Chains A and B, each alone.
Chain A
Amino acid sequence: MAARVAVVVFPGTNCEHDVVTAMERVGAEASLVWHGDRDLGPADAVVLPGGFAHGDYLRPGALARFSPVMEAVARFAAEGGPVVGICNGFQVLTEAGLLPGALVKNRGLRFVCAPARVRVDSDRSVLTAGLPLGTTLSVPVNHFSGSYVCDPATLARLRDGGQVVLRYLENPNGSVDDIAGVANAAGNVVGLMPHPERAVDALLGSADGQLLLRALVQQAAGVRAA
C-alpha cells in the first residue's frame, strides 16, 4: 500500500495542490488537512507546504504555529513521524520550535524567484536518506524571508550533528553557512526553503525534487512497516 501523506492547509497556503500532485507522482497517496482540524487522519508523513499562512502577518509562521492542527503535527513529530516543511512550512516549523533557528528577510531585501543549486550535505534526515553526500540538485526558490539564522552554538550543533541537510551552491538570500535546509536532531523533521514539488518534471526545468520526495516516501513507508 502506498505511503499516506497529510498535506496541511492554512488560510493563505498556496502550494498544497502542487505538493499533492508531486507526492502522487512519486507513488504516495496525499490528502489535504485543514489547519482547524485537530487530527491528521491516517498519515505516514506530514508536509507543510509553501504559501502565506495567515497572511504572514506578524512574522511568517508566527500565527500558523497556533493553528489547532499544529498540536497534532507536534505529536506526530514527537513520535518520530516524518514531517517536512517547505518554504512557508519551514518558517512555521521554526516558529513552532520543531526546528532550531529562524528565517529572516533576505539579504538586500530582495525577493528571490529562481532555480537554485543545492548540495546534499547530510543523509541523516527523512528527506535526504539514501542520497549520496555531495549530490547536487536544481530546485527553485521563491521567497522573501528565507535567510536562515541561528546563534553560533546552535550552528555548531547543527554542523556536528549532520543536521544541515542542504546547502546552496550560490547563496541567494544571505543564509548563515549557505543553509538551505535543516533537520532536527532525530532527522525526522526537516525544513527547506527550495520547493522540491516544483521540480518533478524535466518540463519544469528540473526533476531533481523527485529524489527528495522519493526519499520521504520511502521513509514514510518504513515508519508504517515498523
Chain B
Amino acid sequence: MRFAARVEVRLRPGIADPEGATIERALPALGFEGVRDVRAGRSFRFEVDAADEGEARRRAEELAHRLLANPVIEDSVLELAPVEGA
C-alpha cells in the first residue's frame, strides 16, 4: 500500500521565532489588524510504501524525528492518508 504523508515542522514553544515575529510586525502596514501569535513553520510531503498504515506511520515518524525536525528546537506533526489506486 502507498500512503501520502504530510509533516508539519514548527519551532517548539519558547524558542524565539524571528521569522514569525517579522511577519507579524509587517501586518498592520498591510491593513491586517487583530492578527497575533504568528509562527512560521515548514511543511513536507512525501509518499511511503508500506504493508499497512501502522508501518507507514512508524516509518514516517522516524523520518520526521531523525531528519525533518531537530527535536532540540522543533516539534513535528504527521498526517497520513492512503493513496487511492496506488
CB within 8 Å for A59 and B22 given contacts A104-B15, A104-B16, A107-B16 = no
In the complex, A209→B19 CA distance in Å? Answer: 33
CB within 8 Å for A102 and B73 given contacts A58-B67, A58-B68, A174-B16 = yes
Q: List the B side residues contacting A58 at CB < 8 Å.
A: 67-68
Are A109 and B72 in contact (CB-based, < 8 A)?
Answer: no
Q: List the A side residues contacting B68 at CB < 8 Å.
A: 58
Interface SS of chain B = mixed
> What total of chain A residues lie within 8 Å of the partner, measured CB to CB?
19
A171 sits at the interface (CB 8 A): no
- For residues 57 through 77 of chain B, which have their beta carbon under 8 Å from a beta carbon of chain A? 67-68, 70, 72-73
In the complex, A95→B68 CA distance in Å? Answer: 11
B8 to chain A, nearest CB (A): 14
Look across to chain A and name the residue whose beta carbon is closest to the beta carbon of B18: A109
Are A62 and B70 in contact (CB-based, < 8 A)?
Answer: yes
> What total of chain B residues lie within 8 Å of the partner, measured CB to CB?
11
Q: Mark B7-32, 1 if CB is under 8 A from A, else 0.
A: 00001000110110010000000000
Q: How many A-B residue pairs have CB under 8 A?
A: 33
Look across to chain B and name the residue whose beta carbon is closest to the beta carbon of A174: B16
A9 to chain B, nearest CB (A): 22
A55 sits at the interface (CB 8 A): no
- Which listed residue, A66, A104, A108, touches B73 by the CB 8 Å rule? A104
Q: List the B side residues contacting A105 at CB < 8 Å.
A: 18-19
Q: List the B side residues contacting A102 at CB < 8 Å.
A: 70, 72-73
In the complex, A151→B15 CA distance in Å? Answer: 9
Q: List the A side residues contacting B18 at CB < 8 Å.
A: 105-109
A93 to chain B, nearest CB (A): 13
Look across to chain B and name the residue whose beta carbon is closest to the beta carbon of A105: B18
Look across to chain A and name the residue whose beta carbon is closest to the beta carbon of B71: A102
In the complex, A47→B65 CA distance in Å? Answer: 27
- Which listed residue, A62, A106, A108, A174, touches B67 by the CB 8 Å rule? A62
- Which listed residue, B11, B19, B72, touches A150 by the CB 8 Å rule? B72
Q: Mark A22-41, 1 if CB is under 8 A from B, else 0.
A: 00000000000000000000
Q: A58-B67, A101-B72, A106-B18 are in contact. List 9 more A-B contacts (CB 8 A).
A: A104-B15, A104-B73, A105-B18, A107-B16, A109-B22, A149-B72, A150-B72, A151-B72, A174-B16
